[in-house]
């Protein structure tokens, strides 16, 4: 009898301890899975794939900045000044169209106040399969509405330690990370010609057929429709500011010209742009014809990633409608960039 009572008491104590453990995590909620941040606590925002879902579902905002690492250096304070309202940022470094769009749909579902979306469309992702996700270890238990798998969160020792860190930081006088700094990588890299050229080896020239295959065209359209235009069409109350990432001149050299793919690339751009422009509430912007930008490597840390100064300019340009592509002007835009990048002296980059 005593042994049975001891077992029952031990089991009850264990369940009570687990309950207290879980209640502590749920109360602090470092990843905002259950609620927005508690007022006055010094939450650290530094883990996008664990925190973005909670941010878009529980924070108060009417403008969402979303995309890959290309949007990480945007400042929400500047966005609020230019566009009005209140913005949050949800970057997915290395994210695909599917991953970004899934989070966007979660934001729309959770936040009826959402009116403006700002998103970078990485041209390098256009031809991916519509369901491709290239990041391993995504915490899907935070992304679904199934409470049965939440134990991976509220019984997690590492999350418990994060909650402890939040209280310790608060006690030391720290404050919550703001969205200007969230996932901002500006200070982590060197910029300029030397820095860019150190990130790759120039490949030998190769030949290409010059045309997209039918499979590539079908895959590209399926990707854009599922992960870009369909979502916008379903929500005409939202204005989507989408821009094509302005890659550097080195990207054009390595990924287009050295591979003999200029005609292929321009066909891809025309296919993607024409499809996106078929959606009336998407405002699409392109800046590859801003060659003072793309040819100045002082703005880049590698072939593709530009500095926060360019992020700042992009916000201003989009707000002013500068660089906006329309059904009437996009072919002239494509002709300009084909003429410029097709004739550029790429060897001069390496002198």
1 within a domain of the structure (yes/no): no
Q: Which domain holds residue 299?
A: 29-350
160 within a domain of the structure (yes/no): yes
Alpha-helical (H) ranges within the chain are: 2-28, 48-58, 76-83, 97-110, 151-154, 157-171, 193-197, 214-224, 230-233, 249-251, 262-276, 291-294, 308-319, 330-343
343 within a domain of the structure (yes/no): yes
User: Which pLDDT band, with edges at 50, 70 and 90, does 207 fall under?
Assistant: confident
191 within a domain of the structure (yes/no): yes
226 within a domain of the structure (yes/no): yes
183 within a domain of the structure (yes/no): yes
13 within a domain of the structure (yes/no): no
User: Which pLDDT band, with edges at 50, 70 and 90, does 17 fall under?
Assistant: low
Give the model confidence (pLDDT) of 287-345 as tens digits.
999 999 999 999 999 999 999 999 999 999 999 999 999 999 999 999 999 999 999 99
Beta-sheet pairing, 239-244 with 116-121:
parallel
Total domains present in the chain: 1
Query: What number is the average pLDDT over the span 13-25?
Result: 72
Q: In which element (H, E) is residue 286 found?
A: strand 282-286
**pTM (2 d.p.):** 0.94
- CATH of residue 321: 3.40.50.1110
- Is the separation of the CB atoms in 244 and 121 below 8 Å? yes
Distance CA 31, CA 176 (A): 13
Look over the chain and give the mean of its residue pLDDT values, rounded to a whole number: 94
pLDDT attached to residue 290: 98
16 within a domain of the structure (yes/no): no
Give the model confidence (pLDDT) of 56-96 as tens digits.
999 999 999 999 999 999 999 999 999 999 999 999 999 99
């Amino acid at each position: 009898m005593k042994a049975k009572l001891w077992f029952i008491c031990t089991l009850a104590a264990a369940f009570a301890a687990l309950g207290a453990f879980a209640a502590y995590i749920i109360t602090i909620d470092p990843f905002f899975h259950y609620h927005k941040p508690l007022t006055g606590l010094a939450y650290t925002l530094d883990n996008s794939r664990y925190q973005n879902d909670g941010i878009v579902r529980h924070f108060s905002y009417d403008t969402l900045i979303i995309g890959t690492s290309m949007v990480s250096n945007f400042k929400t304070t500047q966005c609020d000044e230019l566009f009005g309202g209140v913005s949050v940022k949800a970057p997915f470094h290395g994210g695909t169209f599917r991953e970004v769009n899934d989070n966007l749909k979660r934001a729309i579902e959770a936040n009826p106040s959402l009116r403006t979306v700002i998103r970078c469309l990485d041209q390098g992702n256009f031809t991916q399969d519509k369901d491709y996700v290239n990041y391993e270890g995504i915490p899907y238990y935070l992304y679904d509405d199934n409470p049965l798998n939440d134990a991976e969160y509220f019984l997690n020792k590492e999350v418990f330690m994060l909650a402890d860190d939040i209280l310790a930081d608060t006690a030391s006088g720290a404050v919550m990370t703001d969205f200007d700094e969230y996932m901002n990588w500006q200070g982590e890299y060197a910029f300029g010609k030397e820095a860019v050229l150190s990130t790759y080896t120039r490949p030998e020239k190769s030949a290409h057929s010059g045309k997209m295959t039918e499979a590539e065209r079908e895959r590209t359209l399926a990707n854009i429709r599922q992960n870009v235009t369909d979502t916008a069409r379903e929500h005409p109350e939202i204005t989507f500011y989408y821009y094509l990432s302005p890659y550097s001149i080195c990207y054009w050299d390595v990924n287009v010209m050295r591979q003999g793919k200029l005609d292929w690339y321009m066909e891809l751009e025309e296919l993607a742009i024409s499809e996106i422009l078929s959606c009336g509430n998407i405002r699409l912007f392109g800046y590859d014809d801003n060659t003072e930008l793309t040819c100045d490597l002082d703005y880049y840390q590698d072939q593709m990633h530009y500095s926060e100064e360019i992020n700042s300019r992009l916000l201003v340009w989009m707000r002013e409608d500068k660089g906006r592509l329309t059904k009437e002007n996009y072919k002239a835009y494509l002709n300009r960039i084909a003429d410029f990048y097709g004739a550029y002296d790429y060897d001069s980059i390496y002198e």
